[in-house]
Structures are given as structure tokens and as C-alpha cells.
A and B are shown apart, each in its own frame.
Chain A
Amino acid sequence: MRISTLAYSIKQGIKNIFRNRFFSLASIGTIAACIFLLGIFYSIVTNFTHIVEQAEDQVSVTVFFNEGITQEQIDAIGADIRAQKAVGEVSFTSAEEAWEQFKADYFAKNPELAEGFSSNPLAKSASYTVQVKDVEKQSELVAHIEGLDGVRQVNYSARTANTLSDVGRLAGYISVAIIAVLLGVGIFLISNTIVVGISVRKEEINIMKYIGATDFFVRAPFVVEGLLIGLVGATIPLVAIYYLYSEIISYVMKQFSGLTNIVSFLPVGTIFQVLLPLGLGVGAGIGLVGSIMSIRKHLKV
């Protein structure tokens, strides 16, 4: 293709957009809304995934034993737990270690206070600390361990983990649904915009055909038009999200204030590594699909 042809197509494409201002704006607006929501939901979902991952790292189950249990029984319980799928690292804390840890945590400044204990007050506190790899499997695992012989008590943090993955999944479903609807509306509006453009230029297109314009030459301006509308529609919300990201994060923090201490959010740069190409790609995709649909239907050269 010649440079002059490319330049012509781009120039005509831009002209079409301005000639057809109302429809172009409607299309750009819809696509912008679509990409904006896509961006927000992507940010939320990514952050929740990130948070859940953090939480999963933190999710552990502590297993305490019956009084008078033998070391063999403890080893047997350990072997059983290690054999479970959702289990990561398993570490054993003896009663002595537990007491040392406790002293270090609570009597560090007044070691003389700890001297008052003649025997280990945590004699019954030997335990396994079990890392849970998959939060969703936690309750299952806990039930299993509770059923084991010699297990007195299992401590775990069920509520946090479940809430996290539920909210994450819900946000995912809502985002997919709304984005799908907006995607459809965006394609519909673009293809209408292009149809209007084609009908306005019917006469010119006819002349072009009998002068000997190639299909490509006749169609390219409309593809450019769709592409540009898509890209402009994507750029506006991406720029907005880039600057609003921290605001949105603080809004989310307020809505889920319980999480503030447990979690950290991803930096905007990390989000945009994916969101920028994704947003521009979706915008360009809507534009291309919309314009090609109309061209196929109304521009049989």
C-alpha cells in the first residue's frame, strides 16, 4: 500500500468522525463507559486476587493435641496432615518452644516476671502450624483434622478467607456481565455510526468505484473511522483511571475498612501493565468489529 493511500484513509476516517459528530460521540461515550468499567473491575478483581493471595499466605491452621499424647501419635497426625492436598508447609512447635516464644513476645521487657513460673504453663500447647494453600479448601481440611485421633482443638481464621473469595468472585461476575452488555452496545453504536457515514457518502463511493478504486481503498476510511472511535473511546477512561486509581483505592478501602490492616493494594503501574494493552485492545476491537460488520453489510463493492 502506498503512503498516500494510507494518508488518504486516515484523513477521510477523521473527516467521517467529524462529519458524523453525533453518532461518533455516542459511540465514543459508550466505549469509554465500557472501558472505564472494565478498568475499574479489572483493578478491583486484580487487587482482590492479590489480597486473597496475601491472605492465603497468612491462612494457617493450628492443631492442638489431647493431654498425655505420645510423640508417635503426634508424628502420625503430622503425617496424615502432610498427606492432604490443600496443605503447604507443616511445622511443629513443642510446648517448650511455645513457652519460649510466649516469653519472647510478652515478657521481653520484664524477663523477671517469667521467672515466677516454676513449670511450663503452656505444657499442653504443643501444636502443628499448617499452611493452607487453597483458602477454599480450608473448612474441609479443618473438618478432616478435627476428626483425627488425638486432636483436641483446631484454630483457624475461616471468616476472613471466605468473605474475601466471595467478594472477589461476585465482583468478577458483575464485571463480566456489565462489560459484555457495554461491549455489545459499543459494537452496535459503532456499526450504526459507520452505516450513517456510508450512506452520507454513497455518491462519492459510487464515483470511486467507477473510477477504479479498490475495495481496500473504498473501505479503509471506514475501518480507520471505527478504529479511531474505539481508540479514543478507550484512551479517555484509561487516562481517567490512571489518575483516579488512588482515589478509587481509598474508596474501596473505606467500603471494606476491615481489610485496611491486612492488605495492601497493587501500584498503578502494575495494574496498567495489563490494563493499558487490554483497554486499547478492547477499544480497537470494538471499533474494528463494528466497522467491519457494517462494511460487510452495506459496502458490497
Chain B
Amino acid sequence: MIELRDVSKSYQQGAPAINHINLKIEKGEFVFIVGNSGSGKSTMIKLLMKELDPTAGKIVINGQDLSTLKRRRIPKLRRMIGVVFQDFRLLKDRSVYDNIAFAEKVVGASSRTIRRRVPQMLNLVGLSEKYRSFPKELSGGEQQRVAIARALVNNPSILLADEPTGNLDPKNSWEIMKLLEEVNRRGTTVLVVTHNREIVDAMQKRVVTMNKGIIVSDEQKGGHYYADKYVSL
């Protein structure tokens, strides 16, 4: 479960990137976060990972208050959260297999666990055949699948995706969204930041719309409608 209570975040200069936000996401939900550029979506993702600390308010994830979380304990938090980005962020000098295995090595998994889990993940994202390829030999969609596999290999309870289809064509975007939906169906809480209006409209999930650091609408089975409305304001 994710809960933001009256959370604000200001950077050194400019208006607050997040301005008194309240948001509650239950375990197992699938939520789209939409809103135009600069509305604070990425900042929110960073707050959830405790890459940044809020200037005010309280964030609780799986019962853990992030403000009282010791720096030393941050790795533990991040192991509960998988994350993928628009630019994939794969290690270019390593194969698909090694990129996924890397995430397991980082958390100190045994090589036996790694040998068991990596093929499972490859199978889930449909890249079993390409485990020896290097990132530059893959399409954008395939690279994002690898990133998703890497994010999930340690079995996090939450998956955060910051514009995961931002660099992809519509077909690949759809496949990635379908994959994320499948991940959610298997029990992971999924939060997807996106600009992709057709997909959001079509998938009929909960949609949280942000603008200038505030939540302007929060609709179950919502469309992209409110985002447009507030962009024009």
C-alpha cells in the first residue's frame, strides 16, 4: 500500500514540484498517473523511492513511514519497489541475461536462485530466445521488456514505471502496457506515468491527473479527459 499525506516537495528555485498532495493506492491496484510535462509526476516517483525527501508531509509504503526510514535502510525499501524508465537504463556491456542477473547479484542472491529466476523472468516478458543478445541488438520494445524483467526479478510488491512507452511506437507501447497489466494481474501493485492518451482511455484503469504539482482528478476507470482539460487552463 502506498499513501501520501499532504506531501509537498520544492526544489531550490521555482514553484513547488509537488504541492500538498494526498493519494492512497491499495495493494494490487493498477494506476495511471497523467498530466503534462512539469506537473510533478517524476518527482513523485523519486519521492516514493526516497531518492528525494519531501519538504512537508508523510509518505507511507507497505506500512513504512519513509521519513523515519534510516538511510541505511533505503536499500530495503527499494527492494520492495521495482522501477522502469523511459530510457530503459540497461547496461550496454552486458547481455540480456546478465542485465537481469545483475539485479539479483546486487541484492546478494545465490547463483542457484539467479539461475532459476532469470529464465522465469525472460519467459514472462517473452524474451527467452534472446537472452544472449546485447541491448543494442534489441528493439526499444524489447529493451523495455528487459528493464521490466530486471525490475521484477527480485519480486517487488510495487512496480513504478515512469513513461515506459515514451520512446516506443504504438504497437510496442501496447505490448508493454499489456505486459504491465499482466504483471499487475499476478499481484504486483503497478503505477504507470504516461502521456499515452489512447492507451489510458482504452484500458479503463484508475487515472490520477496531475497539474502544476497538485492532483486535479482521481477517477476509477477514468479516461484521459481531465488531463486535457487542465492542460488548457
Q: Are these two chains actual partners, yes or no?
A: yes
Q: Could you list which residues of chain A lie within 8 angstroms of chain B, going by C-beta atoms? A: 2, 4-5, 8, 203-204, 206-215, 217
Query: Beyond A203-B89, A204-B91, is A211–B106 a contact (Cβ under 8 Å)?
Result: yes
User: Residues of B contacting A211 with CB < 8 Å?
Assistant: 78-79, 102-103, 106-107, 150, 154
Q: Do residues A217 and B91 form an inter-chain contact, with CB atoms below 8 A?
A: no
Does the CB pair A2–B91 fall under 8 Å?
no
Residue among A203, A204, A206, A212 making CB contact with B76, cutoff 8 Å: A212
Contact B83 A210, beta carbon cutoff 8 Å: yes
Complex: how many Å from CA A113 to CA B76? 100
B109 touches A4 (CB 8 A): yes
Can you list 30 residue pairs at the A/B interface with Cβ under 8 Å?
A2-B108, A2-B110, A4-B105, A4-B108, A4-B110, A4-B111, A207-B89, A207-B102, A208-B106, A210-B51, A210-B78, A211-B78, A211-B103, A211-B107, A211-B150, A211-B154, A212-B75, A212-B76, A212-B77, A212-B78, A212-B79, A212-B106, A212-B107, A212-B154, A213-B75, A213-B107, A214-B75, A215-B72, A215-B75, A217-B106
Q: Is B49 positioned at the interface, with any CB of A under 8 Å from its CB?
A: yes
Cα A204 to Cα B110 with chains together (Å): 20
Report B-chain residues with C-beta under 8 Å of the C-beta of A215: 72, 75
* Complexed CA–CA distance, A215 and B49 (Å): 16
CB contact between A210 and one of B49, B105, B109 (< 8 Å): that residue: B49
| Given A210-B78, A212-B154, A8-B83 contact (CB < 8 Å) | no
In the complex, what distance in Å separates the CA atom of A8 from the CA atom of B154? 18
Say whether chain B's binding surface is mostly helix, strand, loop, or mixed: helix
Measured CB to CB, the nearest residue on chain A to B49 is: A210
Contacts of A209 in B (CB 8 A): 78
Question: How distant is the Cα of A168 from the Cα of B167 in the complex, in angstroms?
Answer: 73
Q: Which residue of B lies closest to A209 (CB)?
A: B78
Q: Which residue from chain B places its CB closest to the CB of A1 in the assembled complex?
A: B108
Q: How far is the CB of A135 from chain B (nearest CB, A)?
A: 58
**Cα separation A217 to B77 with both chains bound (whole Å):** 16
Query: Could you say which of A4, A204, A210, A214 has the most chain B C-beta atoms within 10 Å of its C-beta?
Result: A210
Distance from B32 Cβ to chain A, minimum over Cβ atoms (Å): 21
Contacts of A203 in B (CB 8 A): 89, 91
The B99-155 residues at the A interface (CB cut-off 8 A) are 102-103, 105-111, 150, 154
Q: Which residues of A contact B72 (CB under 8 A)?
A: 215
Q: Which of A8, A203, A213 has the most CB of B within 10 A?
A: A213
- B133 CB → nearest A CB, Å: 19
**Nearest CB in chain A: distance from B157 CB, A:** 13
* Alpha-carbon gap, A174 to B71, bound state (A): 47
Smallest Cβ-Cβ distance to A204: which chain B residue: B91
Taken together as a complex, chains A and B put the C-alpha atoms of A211 and B103 apart, in Å, by 6
Task: With CB as the reference atom, state the residue of chain A lying closest to B51.
Answer: A210
Q: Is the CB of B91 within 8 A of A207?
A: yes
Q: Which residues of A contact B154 (CB under 8 A)?
A: 211-212
Q: How far is the CA of A213 from the CA of B105 in the complex (A)?
A: 9
Q: Which residues of A contact B150 (CB under 8 A)?
A: 211
Q: State in angstroms the CA–CA spacing of A5 and B91 once bound together.
A: 19
B75: which A residues are within 8 A, CB to CB?
212-215
Question: In whole Å, how far is B36's beta carbon from the nearest beta carbon of chain A?
Answer: 25
7 closest Cβ contacts across the A-B interface?
Answer: A212-B78, A212-B79, A213-B106, A212-B75, A214-B75, A2-B108, A211-B106
Nearest chain B CB to A3 CB, angstrom units: 9
> Interface 1/0s, chain B 63-88, versus A by CB < 8 A?
00000000010011111000100000
Contacts of B102 in A (CB 8 A): 207, 211
The CA-CA distance from A215 to B102 in the complex, in Å, is: 16
- Which residues of chain A have C-beta atoms less than 8 A from B110's C-beta? 2, 4
Q: B26 to nearest A CB, angstroms? A: 23
Interface centre among A203, A204, A206 (most CB of B within 10 A): A204
Min CB–CB distance B106 → chain A (angstroms): 4
Set of chain B residues within 8 Å of A207, measured between Cβ atoms: 89, 91, 102
Contacts of A204 in B (CB 8 A): 91
Bound CA span A98–B154, Å = 94
The chain B residue with its CB closest to the CB of A19 is B93
B99 to chain A, nearest CB (A): 9
Of all chain B residues, which has the CB nearest A11? B105
Residues from chain A with a CB closer than 8 A to the CB of B49 are: 210
Query: Chain B CB within 10 Å — which of A2, A4, A203, A212 has the most?
Result: A212
A210 vs B51: C-alpha distance when bound (angstroms): 8
Give the distance to chain A from B114, nearest Cβ to Cβ, in Å. Answer: 9
Q: What residues on B are CB-neighbors of A8 within 8 Å? A: 105
Residue from B51, B77, B102 whose CB has the most chain A CB atoms within 10 Å: B102
- B42-63 CB contact bits vs A (8 Å, 1 = yes)? 0000000101000000000000
7 more CB-based (< 8 A) A-B contacts, given A4-B110, A207-B102, A210-B49: A2-B110, A5-B108, A8-B105, A204-B91, A211-B79, A212-B154, A215-B75
Which residue on A lies nearest to B73, using beta carbons? Answer: A214
